Amino acid sequence: MNQLEQVKQFLETQPANHRVVEMILDEKKVWVKRKQPLENWRDYYKVIVTPGLKREIKALQLLNRQQLPVPKLIVYCDEFFASEDSGQALPRYLDENSLDLTQRERVFYQAGYALAQMHQQGFAHGRPALRDICWDEHKITFIDFEMHSGKPCSAWDQSIDLLIFLHGLYYSLEDGAPEANAAIQGYIDNQGYTRFTKLQKKVAHFAWVLPLLDKLKGIAGRDLRQATPALKLMLKNWS
């Protein structure tokens, strides 16, 4: 039986609402992502606001061709795709407290380095939340390209990428300054200094919200509160 058939048969054994599942395919762990099932109004909403599976397959094909840090696409069709296992998503490591500070700094340095690689070649992830960044003890891989535009992007897209990434970091690690500094250092070290200063200029357009965020900090949720250190770090002088 070919791999496509094997995945199809496996999916038939899985509950329909399990959209992303892992399986062993030819002795290797892979992740299978299928079309959003339409069971309630939230599913319909998700289908309307996110471009969906086809777009993600296209993005993965494109980024695979550029040899960027994304999982290899193994098989795909209109209903699903299977991609190579890329290790665990970063929040798992943080929740389990399985890494000490030095290891966390190393992982985030690598994440910044990998994001710079993507940006250097003219792409952006679109929404690099920590749950969409995997680590397999050796390398960083970005997953979940539903929000990817499918084409090269602008400096705006890349600055938003960096802000979302840093915000996710500070959201998960309230005292995440060392890890965040390591991430930016990784970004800069990957031939990223000039690009970074360009992105800083874009982010500077948002600097006016800082006093407002400061006023709101007593009543704001963690989500909003953690935007402040992310913005401040982006605006710091890195020379």
Considering only residues 83, 110, 158, 172, which one is a binding residue for ligand ADP as defined by CB under 6 A?
83
Residue 144 or 161 having the CB closest to Mg ion: 144
Stretch that binds ligand ADP, among 141-149, 189-197, 214-222, 228-236 (CB under 6 A): 141-149
Q: Rounded distance, CA 177 to CA 97, Å?
A: 17
| Binding-residue pattern over the window 124 to 163 for Mg ion, x denoting contact by CB under 5 A | --------x-----------x-------------------
Does 21 participate in binding ligand ADP (rule CB under 6 A)? no
- Judged by beta carbon distances under 5 to 8 A according to partner kind, the member of ligand ADP, Mg ion, none in contact with residue 146 is ligand ADP
Q: Rounded distance, CA 210 to CA 84, Å?
A: 41
Cβ atoms of 104 and 177 closer than 8 Å: no
Q: Which residues contact 216 (CB under 8 A, 6 or more apart)?
A: 224
Question: Shortest Cβ distance from residue 94 to Mg ion (Å)?
Answer: 16
Residue 56 or 105 having the CB closest to Mg ion: 56
Stretch that binds ligand ADP, among 58-66, 83-91, 102-110, 172-180 (CB under 6 A): 83-91
> For residue 75, what are the β-bridge partners?
82
Considering only residues 7, 31, 60, 75, which one is a binding residue for ligand ADP as defined by CB under 6 A?
31
Does 25 participate in binding ligand ADP (rule CB under 6 A)? no
What does the binding site for Mg ion look like in residue numbers (CB under 5 A)? 132, 144
